[in-house]
Structure 1
């Protein structure tokens, strides 16, 4: 290897610092901490089982609500100690009939119906006011609880009085991944499962250990009732209402937010690329909105709020633009006759580093999945998905970039334009700009 190549490798080493330090090195540190925590776990013995409330916002839930309620009935927790509140969030498809049927079939289940019709955040706020349990658990109506989820949540709350709120582990239902005939979508669904496993069991696990968890999971979050009732409740002016209430608890009550790594909630995998595109834009925009709403606290009285907000904004937003520059710079270097083999080598090394990091996360995650046998079995069978994760994350990255760009709009919307719609807009704009080209092309094709 000649001197020029050594020089070039040094140059590329500097370019690779952002992904290596931010993603790879931080990922390895997180894994070491999580692995250490796993072997420190102690068995918890409860002296009594408190009364708890489960809130379920209901919207487009006709096909999923019955399974969601059944997962509550199947809990290894006394049903007499569970209150279920269904909050109608504009549902018009006969779900009330399902509720009546559940009441009839399970008279021992304490389940109530509350009308809201004002959006998810206000629906949850109504449920919080009506909750009677010592702890409040919010779950989405299109998912199912693991049979031990409620018990694990209560165990962690009862044995850690300093914890104010928790998020459970959200994973996609692996039994539904192969139900779609589209091969590309099935591959994305598998990558989504591996992504969720790593994000919760490693990423949020590390954040929980360092008390830096940025947001509770909207699909599965848990609170002490006396804590959440002292907040301003869920904010209706942002798409990140879960992040907003997390920041409220941390800033105004100096509260600790944690992960319950033994409580699992299973949601449906993505239906389409359009749904994935909308989802990731919404998450990105929600982060930006909450950071904006709490920007005065970045220099505020709570040091932990300041640390968490700054770290998240820098990693998820500020560093997006250097990443983009780095990607386009690689293409530019090829066009100015930079050695192609060096560009390829640098990208292969980076790809292998990301795969190595994901492989480590996979093996650590499996320790926490020991009781989730079906998930563990499915992930072992499709472990090759680790090789696809860097490409999957690249697609997600550009979806996040689109979310940042679209956040310039004044008003938030739960459903933004889909990927298909935005492609159509770009295509129409391109055709208008180069209309003469397309006319000539049409004339040639038709002639």
Structure 2
């Protein structure tokens, strides 16, 4: 008995402390939030239809969107929202392909649409800012040109505005297109895309719904967001000096204007699934660097003492600070074995934490199923992906590693839309390691 007590409290004490970090910081709060969301989804109120539907403006930033632009415009035209009440502004920020040809094709096909093309400076933020001044709608909605709207998305989003006058801005629900995921492709890419779909469904229909409950939504999606025009015109517009212009706009409305930012779970926008691990690698680094830039600009008086009072401090600690302990575990697992730590107990702690992450995913899975009950086809597709809950912790860990790389690169490189691809950085790291070993061999000879 004394041996096991000594092993547990003294030799394993350090490891147990590290193992408790994800349980206390991530898993327990996720369980509590998931249960609250589960209860709330059973008491959803149906929106009421206003006597008169408002006029809306859709902004679509366009950059080399020749292949996707027509389908995007068609999804606007086929929406259940009255076409005569929709203004569509295509903001072309210096495309080099035949995006204009796609616009002309759509203009001829959908002659009943109020649609115009404007030319703007390079960059998504600049394109959106120019389009804002061209808009005449009560609500301004922006969507990316490489996705398509679910037919009821615009109607559901406007109805949420009309039923809650406290809401100044809304983010829609983003999901990878299930038809494209089902297409024939290598098995490893298919697994990656299924995990991405599962992640998006839980991030929006569970994560952002929980955040929005106390007006703590961290970021609206840049791919599909909506605003009351009067609120948007009271901001400093989209920030052209950051990679996270969508997060910056969220902070402006919530923290500067002290207005409410929410999510419309019933407004779905379909995007293309991630085409490769390289694209995931550059995408998540861009998101991480944009998030850090915005947090640096908007967050002041950062202190661990405010961890339980300020959700932004908690978000920063979880998204950035706790990335490092996660990576430390990889090396600590190996190093601690040389200090006679029990490999069995370390392995069991990893398995226990992994199972807890799976339970969190399954709880969120149930919540998402409830929120998708108005979309039978989507719900059915998501229901068949229950098995992804078992691979999701690994996928999330890979994304955490990429975000950590993004943090490090953000401190050493000038911000750019696309960072180096994974294979390029891997070759660079490999050459540095080989060079270091050569130098060590030379020193030993000397």
SS in 2 for 1:92: coil
Query: What's the offset of the Cα at 1:253?
Result: 1.1
When normalised by structure 2's length, the TM-score is 0.92
SS in 1 for 2:373: coil
C-alpha distance in structure 2 between counterparts of 1:348 and 1:13, whole Å: 13
When normalised by structure 1's length, the TM-score is 0.92
Query: What's the offset of the Cα at 1:14?
Result: 2.6
SS in 2 for 1:266: strand
SS in 1 for 2:310: helix
Q: Which runs of 5+ in 2 are unaligned?
A: 442-446
C-alpha distance in structure 2 between counterparts of 1:240 and 1:428, whole Å: 32
Query: What's the offset of the Cα at 1:307?
Result: 2.7
1:116 pairs, out of 100, 114, 120, with 120
1:242 matched residue in structure 2: 246
SS in 2 for 1:264: strand
C-alpha distance in structure 2 between counterparts of 1:412 and 1:188, whole Å: 27
Q: CA RMSD in A?
A: 2.2
Matches within 5 A, 1:247-326: 247-296=251-300, 307-326=310-329
2:130 matched residue in structure 1: 126
1:442 matched residue in structure 2: none
1:161 pairs, out of 145, 159, 165, with 165
SS in 2 for 1:270: coil
- The structure-2 alpha-carbon separation of the partners of 1:383 and 1:427, relative to structure 1 and needing over 3 Å to count, comes to same
Query: What's the offset of the Cα at 1:333?
Result: 1.4
1:227 pairs, out of 212, 226, 231, with 231
User: CA offsets, 1:14-66, max 9 Å, x none?
Assistant: 32221112221111122122122212222222222100011111112111111
1:43 matched residue in structure 2: 46
C-alpha distance in structure 1 between counterparts of 2:300 and 2:384, whole Å: 48
Q: Which runs of 5+ in 1 are unaligned?
A: 439-447
C-alpha distance in structure 1 between counterparts of 2:43 and 2:52, whole Å: 24
Query: What's the offset of the Cα at 1:409?
Result: 3.4
**2:384 counterpart of 1:381:** yes
C-alpha distance in structure 2 between counterparts of 1:135 and 1:94, whole Å: 30
C-alpha distance in structure 1 between counterparts of 2:433 and 2:412, whole Å: 22
**2:123 counterpart of 1:83:** no
Contact 1:213 1:308 in 2 (8 A): no
2:69 matched residue in structure 1: 65
C-alpha distance in structure 1 between counterparts of 2:122 and 2:348, whole Å: 54
Query: What's the offset of the Cα at 1:12?
Result: 4.5
Query: What's the offset of the Cα at 1:314?
Result: 1.5
SS in 2 for 1:261: strand
Matches within 5 A, 1:213-224: 213-224=217-228
C-alpha distance in structure 1 between counterparts of 2:110 and 2:179, whole Å: 27
Contact 1:18 1:323 in 2 (8 A): no
SS in 2 for 1:379: helix
C-alpha distance in structure 2 between counterparts of 1:253 and 1:348, whole Å: 46
Query: What's the offset of the Cα at 1:435?
Result: 5.3
Query: What's the offset of the Cα at 1:298?
Result: 6.1
Matches within 5 A, 1:337-376: 337-376=340-379
Contact 1:298 1:309 in 2 (8 A): no
- The structure-2 alpha-carbon separation of the partners of 1:279 and 1:326, relative to structure 1 and needing over 3 Å to count, comes to same
Contact 1:12 1:346 in 2 (8 A): no
C-alpha distance in structure 2 between counterparts of 1:3 and 1:433, whole Å: 43
C-alpha distance in structure 1 between counterparts of 2:260 and 2:115, whole Å: 30
- The structure-2 alpha-carbon separation of the partners of 1:416 and 1:367, relative to structure 1 and needing over 3 Å to count, comes to same
2:431 matched residue in structure 1: 428
1:172 matched residue in structure 2: 176
User: CA offsets, 1:138-197, max 9 Å, x none?
Assistant: 111111111111011111101111111110111111111133522111111101111111
SS in 2 for 1:311: helix
C-alpha distance in structure 1 between counterparts of 2:247 and 2:146, whole Å: 21
Contact 2:137 2:229 in 1 (8 A): yes
User: CA offsets, 1:301-353, max 9 Å, x none?
Assistant: xx9xx934322212211222233333432222123222111111111111100
**2:78 counterpart of 1:74:** yes
C-alpha distance in structure 2 between counterparts of 1:118 and 1:251, whole Å: 28
C-alpha distance in structure 2 between counterparts of 1:298 and 1:216, whole Å: 23
C-alpha distance in structure 2 between counterparts of 1:137 and 1:388, whole Å: 35
1:20 pairs, out of 11, 20, 23, with 23
